[in-house]
Each structure stands twice: as C-alpha cells, then as structure tokens.
Amino acid sequence: MLTGRLCWVPLLLALGVGSGSGGGGGGGGGSRRRRLLAAKVNKHKPWIETSYHGVITENNDTVILDPPLVALDKDAPVPFAGEICAFKIHGQELPFEAVVLNKTSGEGRLRAKSPIDCELQKEYTFIIQAYDCGAGPRETAWKKSHKAVVHIQVKDVNEFAPTFKEPAYKAVVTEGKIYDSILQVEAVDEDCSPQYSQICNYEIVTTDVPFAIDRNGNIRNTEKLSYDKQHQYEILVTAYDCGQKPAAQDTLVQVDVKPVCKPGWQDWTKRIEYQPGSGSVPLFPSIHLETCDGAVSSIQITIELHTNYIGKGCDRETYSEKSLQKLCGASSGIIDLLPSPSAATNWTAGLLVDSSEMIFKFDGRQGAKIPDGIVPKNLTDQFTITMWMKHGPSPGVRAEKETILCNSDKTEMNRHHYALYVHNCRLVFLLRKDFDQADTFRPAEFHWKLDQICDKEWHYYVINVEFPVVTLYMDGATYEPYLVTNDWPIHPSHIAMQLTVGACWQGGEVTKPRFAQFFHGSLASLTIRPGKMESQKVISCLQACKEGLDINSLESLGQGIKYHFNPSQSILVMEGDDIGNINHALQKVSYINSRQFPTAGVRRLKVSSKVQCFGEDVCISIPDMDTYVMVLQAIEPQITLRGTDRFWRPAAQFESARGVILFPDIRIVSTLAKAEAPGDLKTTAAPKSAVLEEMLHNLDFCDILVLGGDLDPRQECLELNHSELHQRHLDATNSTAGYSIYGVGSMSRYEQVLRHIRYRNWHSASLEARRFRIKCSELNGRYTSNEFTLEVSVLHEVRVSDKEHVNHLIVQPPFLQSVHHPESRSSIQRSSVVPSIATVVIIISVCMLVFVVAMGVHRVRIAHQHFTEEAEAAKEAEMDWDDSALTITVNPMEKHEAPGRGEDDTEEEEEEEEEEEGDEDISSSSSDSDDSEDQEEERMGRGRRGQSGARQAQLEWDDSALPY
C-alpha cells in the first residue's frame, strides 16, 4: 500500500495538484487543488445494511449480529477513500462499542464495554454509521454512511433461584371437610427471561401429610382432617423455575384444624391425682359446658364414682367386723359367722378368700358348718343379721335356692328352722317358730325383690327382726317385704340342729347327709346379734364409705342449683337452668377419702348430662365424660415396740399372788418416713433424704406369744385384770400359747394394758428362763409391728451352812488373795455413798449386829413397796443382778443366830437388790453407773479410781467379815 500511495505522487504533480507555482496566489491555490484532487478520488460514501439484529449473553462482551457488521465503499481500491476507518454509535451512555477489524474489507465488530445484565435491561436499540478514511492519512474529508438501526437482545442466564413472597403462610380449616384450595403460596424469580423467571412447579417437602399442591401453588387437603387426631399441621413447600432450579429456602405452611362445634364439656383432665391426707380435692376446677349457641332451658348432671372393685364396694376401713361394730357403737354380743381363719375359728379355713382374707367366695360347691355353741339354739323374737353380699344372676335355666345362712335338722329330718337365701334375684328370709313357742298361724317367709341383689355389686344388708315385723336395710335404705307367707310352727322334736353358711345342711331325705342349695357369690362380715336390733345410726355407720364425692362449699353453689347425694356419696345429681351456675357448681365437686391409709389405685368417674331446650323436639346431646381419680400410695407407718428385753427376779416374786409384771416400760411408737423440707441454702451440710415423723393411730390387736413351749397350767399362767381391759374398751383371750388383746384402740391404751400383764409360776425352783414375744397390728394385719422378745429369768439364792463352806467360797478365787488389808474408814464412807456396789453389812460387835438387823427390817418394808410399782421393776435389771451376784455377804456370827435368821438374810438380799435397782434408774448401763460413782467420789475427795476401785472396795467389805 505504501508503494501504491507513492506511485500516485508523479501523477498528481504532473497534473499540477499541490504545486506551489502560480505566483502570489500559489498558497491558496495549492489547497484548492488538493481538495479537488481528493474530491475526485473519494467520490462515494461507505455503505452498510440499514438494520442489524444482535444477541449478547449477559455477563459476556461479544455481540453476535445478523447480518455481520461489514461496510463497503465504491472508491476502493483507492487508498483512504476506499478504506473504512471507523464505526460510530449514536446514543448516550450505551454499553457498546464498534471496532474495525479490517479497513480494506470493511469488517467490524460490536462488543460490550462493560458487563451486560439482563435483569437491568433486556434490549438495546441504537444508530450506527460507518466512516471511510477520507482523502489521506490525516483522516480528512471522511465520508460517513447512512444511519443503520441496531437492535440487540440480551440473552438471560439462570443465575437466580426462586424465592417465596412470604416467609410463612398460615391457614385455618374446619375438621371434616375437603377443600379445593386451602391457601396459595407464590414464589418469584429475578431472572429476566421467561424461561428462568417463571415458576413452573411447586412441591411439598414434608412427607406423610394429608396435603397436595398444584403448579400454581394451591394447597388442598387429601383427606378429612380431625381435631382430635391432630390440632395443627406444619409443612414445608419449595418451588422450581422453568430451568428446574429449586428455591433457595423452603417456606413454612401452618394449617390449624378447627373443631366442629360439638356440644360437650371442655377443659377437664382424664387423670386426677389424689395424695392421701389431702382432704377434699376438686375434680373439675376449670370445666365448662359448650352448647354451640343451643337454646338450653335446663340441664341435669349425674356424677358417679365407681369403686365396686375395691374391697366391699369402696375404700372402707379394713378392720375386722367386731372392730367395726365397736367403732360404730354397736351393741355387744355380736357373733361373727365368717371370721378370719384361726385356731379358735377354724370353720372358715376351707373356704375361698380373696387377697384381703376378709371376703369369702362361694363357687356353688362349698359350705361351712358353724360349731355348736357359737350361736344360741333358738333365737329370740328380736335379733339382727348383717352381711356384705355381691351376687349375680343365678346360673342355669331353672334357678335354685342359694343359701346364705341356714339352720336345719342335723339328722333324720330336713326341716329348716330359719334361713336366709336368694331365689330368682329375690332375698328371702325364713323363720319357723317351734310349737313350744307358739301354736298359731304366723308369718314365716319374708320376700324382697330388688335389682341390687343380682347386679354383681357389693351391697350391705341388715335384717332387723322384731317378730312378727321384719325390716330390711340395704345400703342404709329401708325396704319392707313385698310378700309375707304364713305357716304353722314346727312340731317339737329332739333332733339337733346344724347352722351352716354358703349352703344348707340336708340331714334327712337322703341316704347320706350332705350340703345342698349352694350359694354363688361373695360374702363378708356375716354376723348375727341375738336378743337385740341395731339402730339406724349404727347401720349407717357400718355401711358408710370412707371415700366419696363432696362439695367444697355448699354456700357458693348459687341460686337455682339443686343437688342430691346417695347414702354412700358415690352418686351426685345436680340440676339447674343457668349454664354459668351449672359450670360453677360442677367446679365445686370434689373427691374426699377420710382413711388415714387409703387403698392406692384407680377410681373411675363418669359424668352424664341431660339437656332440655326451649320449644324444640330435638335438643343437643352432651357426650358422657369418663375420667378417673388416681389415689397415690400412702406412706406406710412403721410400728415399733420398745422396752426392757431381759431381766431377773427372785423366785419369791414369781410365786407371789401378783407375780411378775412382764412389760412395765413397754412403749409403742409409730413413725412415718417423710421427705425432709429444704433447709437454708447457706448451710454446707448435706440435707437428709428423709425424716421420721411420729404419728398416732389405732391398733386392733396385740398378741403375746409364749416361746419355747406352751405354759403348764399346773404351775404357771399369764394374768390380766379384766378391769384394765374394760376401762379401755378392749377384749382379750387367754390360752396356754399366750395372751391376745384385741379391739380398736389407741396405742396408748394398748401400752397401758400391756404394762399390766403378769406372769406367775408357783413352782419356780425348776424354772431357769421364760421367753415371750409381742406383735401388734393395725388394720387387721395390714401394718404390723416388730417382734419384741422378752426373756425373764429366776434369780436363785446362794445358801451357806457353815463357816468352813463360807471360807472356802471366799478364798477359792485366786484374785481374792491380793486384796486382804484392814478395813479403813474411807471404805466405809465409799460403801455408804455407793450402795449399788456392795451390801453395807459391818458387824463390829453385837450392838452393831442388832443395829443391822433393825435396818434390815426397815429396808424390807421399803423394798416391798417398791416392788408394787410397775414402772421401776425392770429398768436395767440385767446389770443390777449381775452386780449383785458379785457380792457375797457373810455373817461369821450366824452360828449364834436364831433359827429364823436365814429368812432375814433373804429379806436383806432383796432389800439390797431393790437399792441397786433404784440407783440404776438414774443411769442406762453399768458403765454409766460407774461414771456417776466416780464423779460423786471426786466431789467428796475420796480418790476413787474407776471400776477397779469399786471391785476392791467390794472385796474389802468381804474381807472385813473374816476377823469376826
């Protein structure tokens, strides 16, 4: 090109272009000539297409144009004039530029000067022109093409993920409905293109939920929802754009299920816990009735407490029947026909019993014979029969008589003198008089037809007989017989009668006597009281339940509320016409259990409602409410017997008329282990886990058993004044096996009675020791005490007959030889200060002997008075007698004494023993006694040196007798 350009210069010079000749006007003329020359050379404008379409991908700088950017010039191949030097874009702040790739061919390129963002601008339109290089190298006289329109479209990249418009969505639906759309979720995408900016799909991320979602984000339920099954659902939802890019974060959709308004009780709990000793506890403190805007005119509520499976129908005290009779103030003389099996009451040993051993089950194959002499042969015109009975419908198509109690002929005949039985769910009482009592046509059968007889529930029955009037009390309510059958008296005979329970004895009309008319059911506390009827007050007490329903405050029930309890307070009926008052009244209903140690377990509750509406035939229905009271386990008491467990007494005391008091210091203590209350946090000591708390309650029996063989009635016995029992309203039975005290009474009453139990043995020479054991019970054996064992021994006296024997006894032990020294005054004083160590017997002369005898008589009288006091008889007895046994007092003048002197010595020994016992009362052990002696002698300046000194002083007194 450069060569080509230079070859044009001679031609231009030859034509006179650009020459400086021409005289004065040569300068201007040269310029004109050049322009003319250039005009002659650059004759044409560049040419480009009239419009271009381009595409650029965002975040890229290359624009692809269609058609390509090429400028043509007809002046070619003339240099400069036929070349393209530039493409210029018209517009302000456009992010594009055009560059020339080849001046000769006119090729160009359109590119971005900065990153292109489709989200900011999707399309660009501008004007572009091409410029040639003009007439020369200085880019003068350029010619530009026409204006072409360039339209550029930005191609999108899927750089943004969908996002939801709301961080969470919430909807409320009503249970039991299927919705086409519960709610709609919506997501957006910031990409600019339709492909990447549109949401093509939604999806539920949470699995196992009854919901579905469509492409538009509408959520629906796939099944009917239930408020009782689930109150609320929480599900996660995601979205996808058309490029299948998922949302950056899922959205939470919360669907609340609203229950369909159902009439019924609201805000009550299924389980109500009851802590023993809590008193009256509200059952439904926040309950209220939802009527769904129903026009209610009145409502009746029935609350039922079901405790039929607990004992005899509810949580009654588990005392024996006799104890219950005494607690309720029943008259004496009651005969228990179904007592707990024992050695004295063995006729119930073969019957089936439940876990409490106080309820007897009859399966239609068992009966019990009451021994002769338990019940009088002929009942008077007044008597009472009581029982607890649970009975269902009779088995079989043809119901037979089911005997509860029967008094029939033992042999030969089959006459029933009196009987109580069930027949076709009727209770029948038969009473046949003998001819020697009356010979007229008189009432003989009394019938009661009651649904409760066959409802398989426990009921309390009392039959009061005041012939010819017979009254039945069932659960405290009175029932007159609906049918009375008259009959003639029974012909007199000398046939013995047999009283039975659970079946009737058939002594005649069969080849072999046997039981018949068996009872099917459960019986408990079957008693008969000849000669007297029970009062209504006693009957109500005997059947009263220790637990039941209660109303905290009758005054706060409000006006217009009527209520009624059944006798056992297991059913409460309330009625009112104002819903607010009914709610308030039901909130006051509570459960109470007055037992100190109630039976733990479940008590079921049922609340049923009947509603009447204003002028409507069809009224709202209130579902029954089933709940239960959970009675927690009570803290069980620990009953402990304490006292002296071993002592010795002289034989004379065992052989005396009063005998020996066995338990003068017996103590009965009952404690409960309770969690200790939290103390001061500032204390560093570790808190105790439990603390023992002493409590008072009743006992129902204490047994004193003889260990090592029964008592020999020819030489020994246990005794107790009946006045001691009667004053404390207790009873007792005595046998060679021991003594049994029974009856409901406080622990202090039992202590007082036990402290008066005496043991006598009028042949005690052969007796070495006797052992006794005490065990006490509460609630008929439910809680028992420890087994307290006492051992009593006979203290046999040591008799000496001559002086040689005395000297032999004294000198025989080797340790006596080392302590022979003269008697000192200090030894006398020590013996007077501490009489429990040695017997103070100093025989210096005949006058001193007379003085000692006089003092001995005086002390014998004191000892006799002391032994009559029961509380001082046995304290630390074992150590007393051990101490006394170490001292042997010898009177060398005994050969000059009268024949009755030996008895005086015995009395003196008893006096010394009593003095030792009196001193031992101050301390709890022999070591304590020695310590107190040391302190006493230190105060008096005697220089005593412990126990060895005591032994030495004792031996000094022994030696002092030798010189005389």
Condensed to tens digits (0 to 9), the pLDDT of residues 111-124 reads 888 888 887 888 88
Cα separation values, 336 from 85, 260, 370, 936, Å: 137, 60, 10, 63
Out of 690-704, 808-822, 932-946, give the one with best mean pLDDT: 690-704
In this prediction, residue 256 has a pLDDT band, given cuts at 50, 70 and 90, of very high
Mean pLDDT along residues 749-765? 91
| Averaged pLDDT, 169-195 | 89
Sign for the CA dihedral angle at 880, 881, 887, 892 comes to positive
Task: Read off the tokens for 857.
Answer: 């008589």
Is residue 274 over pLDDT 90?
Answer: yes
The burial class, CB within 10 Å (0-12 / 13-18 / 19+), for 606 is middle
Structure token pair of residue 158: 């899927």
More reliable by pLDDT, 215 or 332: 215
Q: How far is CA 957 from CA 819, 892, 916, in A?
A: 11, 13, 17
The residue with tokens 């007792």 is 732
More confident residue, 525 or 81: 525
Lowest-pLDDT range of 539-553, 594-608, 766-780: 539-553
pLDDT class for 486, splitting at 50, 70, 90? confident
Lowest mean pLDDT among 55-69, 364-378, 689-703: 689-703
More confident residue, 282 or 781: 282
Output the CA torsion sign for 833, 836, 842, 846.
Answer: positive
Contact criterion met (CB below 8 Å) for 533 and 463: no
Give the pLDDT confidence of 505-521 residue by residue, as tens digits. 988 777 788 898 999 99
Burial degree of 96 (CB within 10 A; 0-12, 13-18, 19+) = buried
Find the helix or strand (DSSP H, E) in which 202 lies.
strand 199-204
The model's pLDDT over 323-346, given as tens digits with 9 standing for 90+, comes to: 777 778 777 788 889 888 877 788
Confidence of residue 438 (pLDDT cuts 50, 70, 90): low
* DSSP label at residue 508: B
- 3-state SS, one letter per residue, for 714-765: CCEEEECCHHHHHHCCCEEEEECCEEEEEEEEEHHHHHHHHCCCEEEECCHH
Sign of CA dihedral 151, 157, 159, 160: positive
Nearest alpha carbon to residue 151 among 130, 188, 126, 115:
126
Q: Which two tokens stand for residue 78?
A: 């003339």
Winning range, highest mean pLDDT, from 70-79, 228-237, 478-487: 228-237
Q: Which residue has the higher pLDDT, 248 or 956?
A: 248
Q: Considering the chain, what percentage of its residues have pLDDT values greater than 70?
A: 74
Among 302-311, 441-450, 800-809, which range has the highest average pLDDT?
441-450
- Per-residue pLDDT, averaged over 381-399, amounts to 83
Please calculate the CA angle 856-862-865 and round it to the nearest 5 degrees. 145
Q: What's the pLDDT at 377? A: 80
pLDDT band at 490; cut points 50, 70, 90? confident
Q: How confident is the model at residue 616 (pLDDT cuts 50, 70, 90)?
A: low
How confident is the model at residue 905, as a pLDDT?
A: 44
Query: How far is 462 from 475, CA to CA, in rounded Å?
Result: 9
Task: Give yes or no for residue 279 having a pLDDT over 50.
Answer: yes
**What value does the mean pLDDT take over residues 573-600?**
89
Residues near 470 by Cβ (< 8 Å), separated by ≥ 6? 429, 431, 443, 446, 463, 464, 481
pLDDT band at 151 (very low <50, low <70, confident <90, very high): very high
Tens digits of residue pLDDT in 738-752: 999 988 889 999 999
CA distances from 171 to 168, 182, 187, 250 (A): 10, 7, 18, 17
The predicted pLDDT at position 844 comes to 58
Structure confidence at residue 889 (pLDDT): 41
pLDDT confidence band for 592 (50 / 70 / 90): very high
pLDDT over 80 (residue 255):
yes
Complete domains list, the chain, with CATH: 46-155 (2.60.40.60), 163-258 (2.60.40.60), 264-307+546-631 (2.60.40), 321-543 (2.60.120.200), 637-675+690-795 (2.60.40.60)
Task: Give pTM, 2 decimals.
Answer: 0.54
pLDDT value for 61: 82
Q: Calculate the average pLDDT of the chain.
A: 76
Residue 18 has pLDDT above 70, yes or no: no
End-to-end CA distance of the chain: 175
Does residue 956 surpass a pLDDT of 60? Answer: no
- How many CA atoms within 13 Å lie on the side-chain side of 419? 29
Of residues 680 and 152, which shows the higher confidence score? Answer: 152
Please give the structure tokens belonging to residue 763.
Answer: 């042949």
Is 181's pLDDT higher than 90? yes
Q: What confidence score (pLDDT) does residue 694 get? A: 80
Bigger pLDDT: 435 vs 904: 435
| Cβ atoms 629, 602 nearer than 8 A | yes
Q: For position 810, what pLDDT does the model report?
A: 36
Categorize the per-residue pLDDT at 180 as very low, low, confident or very high, splitting at 50, 70 and 90: very high
* Mean pLDDT score, 458-466: 90
Q: Which of 869, 872, 843 is nearest to 855 (CA)?
A: 843
